[in-house]
Every structure is written in C-alpha cells, then in structure tokens.
Amino acid sequence: MRRLTVIAFPMISILLSGCGRGAIGTSPFSGTPSSPANSVPDIAGNWQFNTTPSAQGAQPASIAGSVSQNGAQVTGAFHVGGSNCFNRLTVRSLTGTVSSNTTTLTSTAADGQTITITGQFTKSASTGTNSFAGTYSVSGGCDAGDQGSVAGNSVPDIANNVSGVFTNSAQQSFDMSGGIAQNASADPTGSFGISGTAAFATPCFNAATVQAGAFPSGSYILGMSVGLEFDAGSGIVTFSGTLNQDRNEIVGNYTISGGACDGATGTAVLQVTSPWDY
C-alpha cells in the first residue's frame, strides 16, 4: 500500500509550516561568514491549529485544513471547530506571504468574520515536522474582538498499516486489520481522501473496502480529524475519530448500517503503524 498522507481545518493549515535557513557561506573578500539567505519555509500540507483566547471563559477553537504554496505565496482551505460563532462545515480560505521571520495569514470574510494569524513557523531538526506559534484575532460578526494565542502543527504522512478493536454498547468486541493510503493532494474542502482495504473478525461481515471521500463524509483526514468508511457489501461501518499527537493511534466512535449488525454503535481504537515497525 501507499503511505498514508495526512489530512485537516479552515485557517490552520496555512499557518503550520516549518521555516528554513539558507546556508552560511564565506565572503571571498573578507574571509568572514556572509549573512544567511532569507529562505522561504515550505509549509504545504495538512495542518491543525488550536487557539487559546485571552478573555476568560471564551471558547478555544480548532482550525484545520490544507495549505498549498507557490514560492512565498500560500493559500489554504480550512474549517473552524469548537466555536458557536463558526460553522465547522463552512470552507474558509486563508492567504498570505510566508517568510522565515514573522508571517501574517488572513482568511476571507465568512459570516462577516475575518481571522488574522501572525507568528513564526519553525521546523524540528529531530522529527522534520513543522510547527507554528503566534497570535490570532477575529474582526466582525459574532466573534468580533476574540483574540489570543495560537499554536499549530503540520500533520505528516501516516504509515499505511491499520488495526484495531471495535467495541459495541454491550461491551462486545471485534477486531479489524488492513491498510490505508492517503491522496497526495487535498480536495476543495481542505481534506485528503483515504482509500484501502480491511478485514473484520465478526459474523456480520468480513472483507471491506475503504471508500475515499471528502470532509465530512467518506474516508478522509482533515488536520487531526479522521473519517473512515468501510464498505463490506452487506454493511457499512462509519468511523469518526481523532489522531493522537504521536500519529500512531486514532480514537473515535462507529456506527453500522445494513446487514446483520444494522444499527450497532460503539467505540473503536485504531493503531496506525509502519510496515517497518516491529
């Protein structure tokens, strides 16, 4: 199988890339190091941002989605969750010019609200992943005046082996194993489609295909949110969960429609591992 790339929300994606530095050279005239090049960070990919409002009692929000980049110009498709002032289903675009220092990204107005994020992208030398730290502010609409700090992380490719345990409301469990792959490019909603195959150890059904989709239906990844739809022919298992920070576990809920287990619901914990992990 292909490696699973990751998914994600509205303005967040754009903010979360790593920044690079140019190599330090030696001046042929002075023999002293020359100034490092002002390189542009590469932040394209799937992002998850989380806000911390400065006002006491205000709602924190998540911003998740994809970022695309052309030179220093970046655009993204994101979704804002966790706030009563934003509809998570609404796709919001985020644009700006990224630099190795301070970067400002601004969303297009939606519901009369505009989000502005300002901060810096950094790249981890040990993991190679990008992160973002800065501030945000909202102008106009229901959430006007909201401001505070924002932290974001890029969501790198997820390995393509997946296995887990599904447990229904009666505490009866069944196992699942399979493989998944993520689309290399994001769809217009800012999510990345997921496809693959799986096998279930249950009398209700056995082999299933993972149907690629786009947020909020089918199989996709958006930021740290993961949706999986397993089509077994005689029934469909719909799973919705959240990827952990280590990117090796997805915890969520499932429902079954059709077949002998029609109407069953419960929880599931899925392990995502590399084929080279032992």
Give the model's pLDDT for residue 21: 37
Ranges of each domain in the chain? 12-22+36-154, 161-273
Please provide the CATH number assigned to the domain covering 12-22+36-154.
2.40.128.30
What whole-number percentage of the chain has pLDDT above 90?
Answer: 70
Round the average pLDDT of the chain to a whole number and report it.
85
- Entry pTM: 0.83
Strand extents, DSSP E, 86-235: 92-97, 103-107, 114-123, 130-139, 147-154, 161-168, 173-182, 192-202, 205-210, 220-222, 225-231
Query: Which tens digits make up the pLDDT trace of 215-237?
Result: 999 999 999 999 999 999 989 99
**Structure-model confidence comparison of residues 40 and 184, the more confident one:** 184
Q: What is the mean pLDDT of residues 175-196?
A: 95
Question: Tokens standing for 25?
Answer: 């050279």
The CATH number of domain 161-273, selected from 2.40.128, 1.10.3470, 1.20.950, 3.40.50: 2.40.128
Domains 12-22+36-154 and 161-273 share a fold: yes
In a 3-state reduction of DSSP, which class is residue 13?
helix
C-alpha to C-alpha distance for 25 and 194, rounded to whole angstroms: 44
Over residues 8-17, mean pLDDT? 37
Contacts of residue 151, defined as CB under 8 A and 6 or more positions apart, other chains included, come to 49, 50, 52, 131, 132, 133
The first and second tokens of residue 163, run together, are 């296995």
- Measure the CA–CA gap between 17 and 155, rounded to whole angstroms: 10
Asked which of 1-15, 46-60, 100-114, 136-150 is least confident by mean pLDDT, the reply is: 1-15
Residue 121 CA to residue 129 CA, distance in Å, equals: 10
Most confidently modeled range among 38-47, 107-116, 144-153: 144-153
Give mean pLDDT, residues 235-251. 94
In tens, the pLDDT along 100-114 reads 889 999 998 888 999
Apex CA 243: angle with CA 238 and CA 248, to 5°? 110
Beta strands of 24-160 (E only): which ranges? 45-53, 62-70, 73-81, 92-97, 103-107, 114-123, 130-139, 147-154
- Interval 264-269 mean pLDDT: 96
Structure tokens at 104: 């400002």
Distance CA 70, CA 63 (A): 22
- Is there a contact between 152 and 136 (Cβ–Cβ < 8 Å)? no
